[in-house]
A and B are shown apart, each in its own frame.
Chain A
Amino acid sequence: MKSSPCLLVTLAVLLLSGCYANTVTSNQRISKDGWLSSHANIRVVRETEVSDDLLRIDVEVENTLPFDTRFDYKFEFLDAEGRMLFGPTTGFRQEQVPAGAFVTITATATDPRAADFRLTLTNAN
C-alpha cells in the first residue's frame, strides 16, 4: 500500500514524458518535436541569396532550458511549385546549444530553382 503513491508518480511521469515526446509543432516551414516544441525558440529566420541566385536560410534557435542540450535538424528545399529539390548533401545534422543560449543553423540551396524551404528540428537525446 505504501508503494502506491510512488507507482502513481512513476505512471504520471511516464505518461507526461510520452506526451512530451510525441508533441509536434509546425508552422508549415519549421516543425519541431520533443523538448524543442516547448523550449526551442525560433528567434530569427533570414532568407537571403548568395552567389546571385542561390537561396540561403539562417535560423537562430534559442535553448530556453536551464541545461545544455543537442538537437538534429534537416533543411529541404522546394521549387516554386512546391516540388522537393534533390540535394547531394541533404540530411540530418546535429547541433549543440548551451543553456539559455542560441545557435544559428544555416543551409544553402545548390539549385537556383529553390524558392522555399522546410526545416525539421528533432530531439537528439
Chain B
Amino acid sequence: MNHFLSRSPFVIALAFGALGAAGCQQNARVVTDDRDKIVSIDQIDVQDWSNAADQVLQQLFASGALDTAPVKPARVEVTRVINDTTQRIDTDLLTQKIKIALQQSGKVAFASSDARANEVADYEDFKAGDDAPRLPYFVINGKILEIRASAGSTKQSSFVFQLNLVNTAQSLDAWSGEAEVTKQGTRNAKNSKG
C-alpha cells in the first residue's frame, strides 16, 4: 500500500497528461472559410495565393491594358514566373487563378500548352493552307520574391508577387503590377484571429 501511495502522484500526473493531450487533439474537418485557415509566418499559405492574385488582377483591370489589343479575345501565353523565394513552390498556384479570372472576363484567350491540341490545330491549319504561326498578342511573365526580418522573437515574412503583361507586337510592357503579402508573429496561428 505504501509502495502504491509513493507512486500515485506519478500515476495521477501521467493520467492528467494523457487527458490533457487527448483534449488538445482535434478531429479533422473541411475548412471553407479563409479565416479558419492556418496562417504560417514563413511560407505562402493557400489563402495568400488568392489574395495576391486578387491584388494584381484589380490593378490589371483598372489599367485598361487588356483593352489595347486589336482583336478580342487577345491571345495570351504565360511564359515564366520565377520563384526567387527559399521555398519550393508551384507558380501555377498564382497563374491559374489569374488565367481563370482573365478568361472569365472574356478579354483574352490563353494559348494551350497541350501537345495533342497543338498537333491537331497544326493539322487543321495545314489542311486549310494556313502556314502562319499562332502568335500571342500578350505574354505574361513574373517573379515571386521573399523578404524576411525579425525583431527579438517576432518574425516577419513578406512575399512580393510581380507580374508583367508584355505587348509582343512592340515588345513593351503594357502593364506591370505588384502584390505584397506580409505576415508577422512569433509562431504560426491556427486561424486568422491568431
Contact = CB atoms under 8 A, between A and B. Distances in A.
A99 to B, nearest CB: 20
Given A93-B51, A124-B193, A88 B101 contact: yes
Contact of A54 (B47, B51, B97, B105): B105
B66 interface: yes
A73 to B, nearest CB: 11
Interface residues of A, number: 24
B106 A112 contact: yes
Contacts of A93: 51, 54
Interface stretch (B2-10, B16-24, B57-65): B57-65
B54 A92 contact: no
A112 B105 contact: yes
Contact of A89 (B57, B67, B105): B57
B47 A91 contact: yes
A98 to B, nearest CB: 17
Contact of B62 (A88, A108, A111, A125): A108
Interface in A74-125: 74, 87-94, 106-108, 110-112, 122, 124-125
A108 B97 contact: no
Interface residues of B, number: 26
A92 B107 contact: no
A88 B97 contact: yes
B36 to A, nearest CB: 10
B104 interface: yes
B193 A108 contact: no
Contact of B107 (A51, A56, A74): A51
Contact of B61 (A74, A90, A108): A108
Given A124-B193, A125-B193, A88 B61 contact: no
A78 to B, nearest CB: 15
Interface string B128-170: 0000000000000000000000000000000000000000000
**Lowest 6 CB-CB distances: which A-B pairs, in order?**
A89-B54, A110-B101, A88-B100, A92-B34, A91-B34, A88-B97
Interface of B: 33-35, 47, 50-51, 53-54, 57-58, 61-62, 64, 66-67, 96-97, 100-102, 104-107, 192-193
